[in-house]
Amino acid sequence: MAGFSTVLAGLFLALVAVALFALVAHRPAKATSGWWLLEVMSRTSVRQALLVSFESTTICALAIVALGTPVALLLARPFRGREVLEAFVSLPVVLPPVVAGLALLLAFGRRGLLGHALDAVGIHIPFSLIAVVMAQTLVAAPLYIIAAKNAFERADPDLVDAAATLRASYVYTALRVIVPPALPALGAALALAWARALGEFGATITFAGNLPGVTQTMPIAVYVEGQGDIDAAVGISLILLAVSFLVLAGARLLQARVAAA
């Protein structure tokens, strides 16, 4: 049985290795020099996609911390219906991203549930940078919230009870007792959520569209460039691969620190 499991594990690892090696080993036939990747990165469209991605994911990370941390603190407390609420919060993780994007469009589009009222006061969300951030936040925030909730549940119950005995408010208890020990876990969770936001495609292109320099993120640029310039698509993909690996490696190190604590 152990040998069979090893074979299956080897097949999966081989699949990952071959796919990534094919990406890293790509060499364009028409390259003018050995620095073809730098040539690709110097293109205006590629630099614009890089800027939009890092700008939007930075805002997204701030939004996830600001909005997701209170949700995680709420879920860390026992109450009736908590499991249902947790399933609701986690839903975007399993929902097809294009469905999430369509839901945002139907909610905030000009003729949407809330978009009609917003449009009346001159607020247009779809096909803008804020739409990119909203799409990224919707699909990435659950990764942070659930991990943060698990970290908050590991808070020392004696300290929490002592704070309650001293009639400290829950906000004070959270800021002084619950959150500080969980900071390494929160950092790892945020890193994973940020990486997910960086790779978001379906919800973004559905809700924010594909406007170069405005809403065209790196994953969208990979798709667009792949239709006619595979070298540019590979170049952007390599950047995404490198950044994602570094973020995941950092998150794993943080998680190892949490486990050893």
Q: Specify the amino acid at residue 106.
A: L
CA dist 101 and 113 (Å) reads: 14
Residue reference for tokens 């469209």:
45
Q: Are 194 and 246 in contact (CB under 8 A)?
A: no
Closest CA to 215 of 84, 70, 104, 80: 104
- The answer to whether 192 and 151 have CB atoms below 8 angstroms apart is no
> How many Å apart are CA 188 and CA 186, to the nearest integer?
5
Q: Find where tokens 């002084």 sit.
A: 176
Exposure string of 189-221, with b = 16+ CB inside 10 Å and e = fewer, is bbbbbbbbbbbbbbbbbbbbbeeeeebbbbbbb
Q: Please state, in angstroms and rounded to a whole number, the distance separating the CA atoms of residues 63 and 151.
A: 19
Q: Which long-range contacts (CB under 8 A, 24 or more apart) does 104-110 make?
A: 104/131, 104/134, 104/135, 104/138, 104/203, 104/206, 104/207, 105/206, 105/207, 108/134, 108/207
Q: What is the pLDDT of residue 226?
A: 87
Q: According to the model, what pLDDT value does residue 37 have? A: 76
**Dihedral of the alpha carbons of 150, 154, 155, 156, in degrees to the nearest 10:** 170
The residue ranges of the chain whose pLDDT is under 70 are 1-2, 29-34, 258-261
Cα(236)–Cα(247) distance, integer angstroms:
17
CATH superfamily to which 43-260 belongs = MetI-like (1.10.3720.10)
Give the domain ranges of the chain. 43-260
Q: What pLDDT, on the 0 to 100 scale, is given for residue 133?
A: 97
Give per-residue pLDDT as tens, 128-166. Answer: 999 999 999 999 999 999 999 999 998 878 787 787 777
In sequence order, the 6+-apart residues with CB closer than 8 A to the CB of 42 are: none
Q: Please name the residue that has the structure tokens 């028409």.
A: 30
Residue 32: predicted pLDDT: 57
In which residue are the tokens 């929902």 written? Answer: 95
